[in-house]
Amino acid sequence: AKKADRNTLRFFDHKMQDAINARAELEAELHKALEHQQFELHYQIQVDCASRALGAEALIRWNHPTRGLVAPAQFIPLAEETGLILPIGLWVIETACAQLHAWARDEKTRHLVLAVNISARQFHQSDFVAQVRAAVQRNAIDPNLFKLELTESLLLDDTEKTVATMNALKATGVQLSLDDFGTGYSSLQYLKILPLNQIKIDRSFVRDIATDPNDAAIVQTIIAMAGTLGLDVIAEGVETEAQLEFLDLRGCHACQGYLFGKPVSIREFESSLGQSSSA
């Protein structure tokens, strides 16, 4: 039995060493990814309940030379731990603002709102508001068309400071959306004091709205509450006509999900817009 234990231990040692090596390798590659311009933004359409384009959410992808297109779940957590999320996040903001600048020059795209995801660590940097303001000014965009998606994890830290930063962001003219709503800690209390434009109902509630009475009740309540507070509400992960119909009937303003389109490259996104507007 002792020998077997030793073998088991050795097995775990190897496994752990492999995991540590893989992580170190990923981290080293992540460092190089920015300078080698391996990141790209994909765009997922956001629509009103009549399926008209309102804008898009920009979602990062890592175009790795050998691994191919790497999803954010594979590297954002490591980027957050190592602090690399700061330069990466800045690149996302700059790239999105440059895209809005390009859209402003075309009648077909000039009304589109572009949303980006902001990590807690990025949000809490002392010069975050200045970074956003600078990107908006450098690209000469209408700040109202630029939206930051924040998560409730921000509130875990210093609520007063978080609210002050959000107010400063709001003063620059950008829009603020609370992502993954319903999964975290936000109470009605917070919703009242946060200077939000929008809440985004998490996909986990949307999935079964057409079949699960509990989820249906939760989503209906969130939409009604948003209305009372004067907030826009968008549902994420909308995949079926039945979900869309439910949301539309309850007065949800906007939807995002595979029913309308997956996240795609900028070229595909723009050509899909052309198709729907000429239809």
Which residue ranges make up the site for ligand C2E (CB under 6 A)?
44, 59-60, 71-73, 76, 89, 92, 116-117, 119, 179-180, 236-239, 257-258, 263
* 29 counts as binding Ca ion under rule CB under 5 A: no
Task: Quote the CA–CA distance of 207 and 275 in Å, as a whole number.
Answer: 28
Nearer to Ca ion, 172 or 183 (CB): 183
Task: Quote the CA–CA distance of 72 and 144 in Å, as a whole number.
Answer: 26
Residue 239 interaction partner, one of ligand C2E, Ca ion, none, beta carbon < 5-8 Å per kind: ligand C2E
* 117 counts as binding Ca ion under rule CB under 5 A: yes
Query: Restricting to residues 142-161, which ones interact with Ca ion according to CB under 5 A?
Result: 149
Nearer to Ca ion, 33 or 148 (CB): 148
Residue 263 interaction partner, one of Ca ion, ligand C2E, none, beta carbon < 5-8 Å per kind: ligand C2E
- Tokens (6 digits) for 179: 């992502």
Asked if residue 115 lies in contact with residue 147, where contact means CB atoms within 8 angstroms, the answer is: yes
Query: Restricting to residues 192-211, which ones interact with Ca ion according to CB under 5 A?
Result: 202-203
Task: Quote the CA–CA distance of 49 and 255 in Å, as a whole number.
Answer: 7
Task: Quote the CA–CA distance of 100 and 102 in Å, as a whole number.
Answer: 5
Nearer to Ca ion, 27 or 203 (CB): 203
What does the binding site for Ca ion look like in residue numbers (CB under 5 A)? 117, 149, 179-180, 202-203, 236
